[in-house]
């Protein structure tokens, strides 16, 4: 019997990789797509935690990451043993973890959130009288604390790509643009940048903001996230002046080195069964990690129905 192979590509991969994919999206969209497609083999052109999430949600499928080195600083900066001890300091708190985390990290979490639903889920928990600790992204957690007046203890890891955006470089770039300008930003960016943004949201949220934009056609729209999404934004709105927000001295060159490990050759090899097969997670690990993910999915069904 012919096996169904589905190739997934994250928005942050190179355009030629996205063109090879059956589906392009953010990490959760892609994992859910694979589940609905009932794939036998999933080639995940992204980073390791995304492939792990796909495996957790699709345990019967073979999931292949094209390059074993495709990791994430939010994962590498988090020692799960230390995280577990940190969690024990807050026994009465709910542990909410961002989906950009390892399977082991998810397994010691109560809820998983994405950048699209983190506001609603944490607001829901506080409305129920719960106390929350948040990991691993301190920028995202700090933004939520500042915006809503929460007092969540935060784990201290950052996305090395988004953390490079800075207020001074942004101010310099804004000053160089004489007309109307906007900033849209991913919540993994530092708080001073997020406070200047006209819109803060997920990768998909920013893309949708650009698609719906009806302002001055001559305005400059700065985008504070990984540069791969500029390709999708440009396809959707070729009429707009879209620029990646600068990281220093006007440099608009902020790429995720791990996403860029997904080369054409690596993806082609993965489609032939080569690459990192996500076969190292035990059934117990996957079951434990699936609980907070499913909790998020069930909430989303009820909340957004």
- Kindly report the three-state secondary structure assignment for every residue of 162-198: HHHCCHHHHHHHHHCCCCCEEEEECCCCCHHHHCCCC
Cα–Cα distance measured from residue 274 to residue 286, given in angstroms and rounded to the nearest whole number: 23
Strand partners, 221: 182, 242
What is the DSSP-derived secondary structure letter of residue 3? P
State the CB neighbour count (10 A cutoff) for residue 88: 8
Structure confidence at residue 153 as a pLDDT band (50, 70, 90): very high
Q: What is the pTM of this model?
A: 0.94
| pLDDT of 78 higher than 60 | yes
Checking if the pLDDT of 21 tops 90, the result is: yes
Weakest-pLDDT range from 1-10, 128-137, 220-229:
1-10
Least confident among 46-60, 73-87, 174-188, 291-305 = 291-305
pLDDT tens for residues 160-195? 999 999 999 999 999 999 999 999 999 999 999 999
User: For the residues 201-209, what does the mean pLDDT come to?
Assistant: 95
pLDDT band at 282 (very low <50, low <70, confident <90, very high): very high
For residue 53, give the 3-state DSSP assignment: helix
Residue with tokens 């690990």: 285
Among residues 50, 39, 38, 37, the alpha carbon closest in space to that of 9 is found at: 50
pLDDT of residue 271: 95
Q: What percent of the chain has pLDDT over 70?
A: 97
Predicted pLDDT of residue 247: 87
Instruction: Give the other-Cβ count within 10 Å of 29's Cβ.
Output: 19
Q: Which two tokens stand for residue 113?
A: 């959130």
Q: In whole angstroms, what is the distance from residue 99 CA to residue 118 CA?
A: 10
Residue 148, helix vs strand vs coil: helix
Q: What is the largest CA-CA distance in the chain?
A: 62
Q: Evaluate if residue 253 carries a pLDDT over 70.
A: no
Q: Which residues pair with 199 in a beta bridge?
A: 184
Beta bridge partner(s), residue 112:
97
The residue to which tokens 């190179």 are assigned = 14
Whether residue 63 has pLDDT greater than 70: yes
Q: SS3 for 200-247, per residue?
A: ECCHHHHHHHHHHCCCCCCCEEEEECCCCHHHHHHHHCCCCEEEECCC
Alpha-carbon distance 62 to 272, whole Å? Answer: 12
The whole-number average pLDDT for the span 277-281 is 97
Which pLDDT score is estimated for 64? 98
pLDDT in the model for residue 1: 65
pLDDT for the residue 250? 58
pLDDT at 305 over 60: no
Given a contact cutoff of 8 angstroms between Cβ atoms, the answer to whether 245 and 222 are in contact is yes
Report, as an integer, the average pLDDT of 145-161.
Answer: 97
CA distance 160 to 98: 15
Helix boundaries (H) for 62-117: 73-76, 80-88, 103-107
How confident is residue 304, by pLDDT bands cut at 50, 70 and 90?
low
Which domains, and CATH codes, for the chain?
3-70+256-280 (3.40.50.10800), 165-254 (3.40.50.10800)
Residue 216 confidence (pLDDT) above 60: yes
Place 133 in a pLDDT band, splitting at 50, 70 and 90. Answer: very high
Task: Please name the residue that has the structure tokens 């392009």.
Answer: 24
């Amino acid at each position: 019997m012919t096996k169904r192979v589905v190739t997934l590509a994250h928005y942050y991969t190179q355009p030629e990789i996205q063109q090879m994919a059956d589906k392009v999206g953010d990490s959760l969209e892609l994992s859910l797509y694979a589940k609905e497609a009932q794939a036998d083999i999933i080639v995940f052109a992204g980073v390791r935690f995304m492939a792990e999430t796909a495996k957790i949600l699709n345990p019967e499928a073979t999931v292949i990451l094209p390059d074993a080195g495709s990791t994430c600083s939010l994962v590498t900066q988090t020692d799960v043993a230390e995280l577990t001890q940190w969690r024990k300091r807050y026994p009465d708190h709910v542990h909410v973890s961002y989906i950009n985390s390892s399977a082991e990290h998810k397994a010691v979490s109560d809820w998983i959130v994405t950048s699209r639903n983190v506001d609603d889920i944490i607001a829901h928990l506080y409305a129920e009288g719960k106390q929350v600790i948040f990991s691993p992204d301190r920028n995202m957690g700090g933004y939520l604390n500042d915006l809503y007046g929460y007092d969540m203890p935060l784990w201290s890891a950052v996305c090395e790509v988004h953390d490079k955006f800075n207020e001074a470089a942004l101010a310099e770039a804004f000053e160089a643009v004489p007309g109307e300008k906007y900033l849209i930003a991913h919540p993994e960016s530092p708080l001073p940048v997020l406070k200047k943004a006209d819109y803060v949201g997920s990768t998909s949220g920013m893309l949708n903001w650009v698609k719906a934009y009806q302002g001055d056609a001559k305005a400059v729209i700065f985008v504070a996230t990984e540069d791969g999404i500029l390709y999708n934004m440009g396809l959707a709105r070729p009429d707009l002046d879209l620029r990646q927000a600068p990281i220093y001295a006007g440099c608009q060159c902020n790429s995720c080195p791990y996403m860029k490990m997904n080369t054409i050759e690596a993806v082609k090899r993965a489609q032939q069964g080569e690459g990192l097969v996500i076969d190292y997670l035990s059934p117990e690990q996957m079951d434990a990690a699936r609980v907070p993910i499913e909790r998020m999915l069930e909430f989303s069904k009820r909340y957004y129905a």
